[in-house]
Amino acid sequence: MDHCPSCATPDLAFATHDHDRCAADTLLRAQTLLTARGQRLTPVRKRTLEILLESHRALGAYDVLHRLAADGFGNQPPVAYRALDFLEDQGLAHRIRRLNAFTACMHPGENHSAAFLICRTCLTVCESAATPISNALQSHAGAFQVESTTIEALGLCPACQTE
């Protein structure tokens, strides 16, 4: 779960880290995972994931689209949305509802439900394991059968608090 040192704990997630390794590592694991599932990481999909992995920010679909178009891919919305939806289906990206945006999954392959800490100043998004929160939610839900959860917190990351 802690392949990316920045993701071990929320406190560290907003700290600087060896992001190239963080991203490369996540991409590699994504690749492996898809192969094992018989799914294809086509050029658009791969590029989309790379774009998301460039930072721990969330990107809007149209931001991604413009980047893809600049790289020679189609420049109509479905191009981006299809790639993003695929990545989301495969658990390689998450949708941040609060921002109408997308972010790369930092723990691909682990069937976790995720929680997100979103800094409103630097827009960095930190994904943390939501298991305890998710459990609290399910136990709170009683007979309601939870199928998927959206757990997001907007606030200030440690770095932005001091400014």
Partner DNA sequence: GCTATAAGTGTAATAATATAACATTGCAAG
Partner DNA sequence: CTTGCAATGTTATATTATTACACTTATAGC
What is the binding site for DNA (CB under 7 A)?
Answer: 39-40, 42-45, 60-62, 73-79, 81-83, 85-86, 100-101
CA–CA dist 80, 78 (Å, integer): 5
DSSP letter for each residue of 54-123: TSSB-B-HHHHHHHHHHTTS--SHHHHHHHHHHHHHTTSEEEEGGGTEEEE-SSTTS-PPEEEEEETTT-
User: In terms of CB distance, is 17 or 46 closer to DNA?
Assistant: 46
Contact residues toward its own copies (CB under 8 A) are 9-11, 14, 97-98, 115, 117, 119-120, 126, 128, 130, 132-133, 136-138, 140-158, 161
In the complex, the smallest distance separating the C-beta of residue 100 from its own copies, rounded to whole angstroms, is 9
Interacting residues of 150 by C-beta distance below 8 A, sequence separation 6+: 97
Of its own copies, DNA, none, which one does residue 73 interact with (CB within 5 to 8 Å by kind)?
Answer: DNA
User: In terms of CB distance, is 36 or 143 closer to its own copies?
Assistant: 143
Q: Looking up tokens 């050029």, which residue turns up?
A: 43
In the complex, the smallest distance separating the C-beta of residue 138 from DNA, rounded to whole angstroms, is 26
Q: How far is CA 22 from its chain centroid?
A: 13
Of DNA, its own copies, none, which one does residue 143 interact with (CB within 5 to 8 Å by kind)?
Answer: its own copies
